[in-house]
Structure 1
Amino acid sequence: MRRFPLFRLATLLARQLSAPVAKKIKVVAVNHPWFQRHVCARTGRMFHAYQLRLRLWTLALRQPRHLPPISDHVALESGASILGEAIIFGVGGLIIMFEVNRQANKQEDKVLAQESQWLALLLSLEELQRELALQQQDIDRLHATLRRLAPDQYPRTQQDSQPSSDQPVMPSPPTSESPPVSKPTAELDAERLPPTTSEAPPPPKSDCPPPLTPECPLPPTSECSN
Structure 2
Amino acid sequence: MVIQAFPVAKLGSLLIKQISKPIANYVKEKAKSHPLFRRYICLPPAHFYNWCERKSKMWLLRMGQPVNITVLNEAAAIELGANLVGEAVIFVIAAGIVISEYSRSVRKEAAKEAAKQAEMEALQNNIRDLFIQTEEQAAHIRELTRKLGDLGMLHHITDHITDSRL
Say whether the 8 Å CA contact 2:58–2:66 is kept in structure 1. no
Gaps of 5+ in 1: 1-7, 153-226
The 1:140/1:29 distance shift into structure 2, 3 A limit, reads: same
**Aligned runs of 1:188-203 on 2, under 5 Å?**
none
Aligned to 1:67: 69
**Aligned runs of 1:146-225 on 2, under 5 Å?**
148=151, 151=155
Find the partner of 1:117 among 114, 119, 123: 119
Partners of 1:133 and 1:61 lie apart in 2 by 87
Fraction of identical pairs, as percent: 26
Partners of 1:48 and 1:122 lie apart in 2 by 65
Offset from partner CA, 1:57-86 (integer Å, 9 cap, x none): 111113333222322111111000000111
Which stretch shows the higher mean deviation, 14-23 or 104-113? 104-113
Q: TM-score, normalised by structure 1?
A: 0.52
The 1:83/1:126 distance shift into structure 2, 3 A limit, reads: same
**RMSD of aligned alpha carbons:** 3.1
| Number of aligned residues | 143
The 1:118/1:42 distance shift into structure 2, 3 A limit, reads: closer
Find the partner of 2:50 among 48, 51, 54: 48
Q: Structure 1 residue 38 and structure 2 residue 40: aligned?
A: yes
2:71 maps to amino acid: P
Q: RCO higher in 1 or 2 (8 Å CA, sep ≥ 6)?
A: 2
1:131 maps to amino acid: Q
Find the partner of 1:18 among 20, 24, 47: 20
Q: TM-score, normalised by structure 2?
A: 0.68
The 1:126/1:66 distance shift into structure 2, 3 A limit, reads: same
| TM-aligned CA deviation for residue 139 of structure 1 | 5.0
Which stretch shows the higher mean deviation, 132-141 or 121-130? 132-141
**Aligned runs of 1:87-102 on 2, under 5 Å?**
87-102=89-104
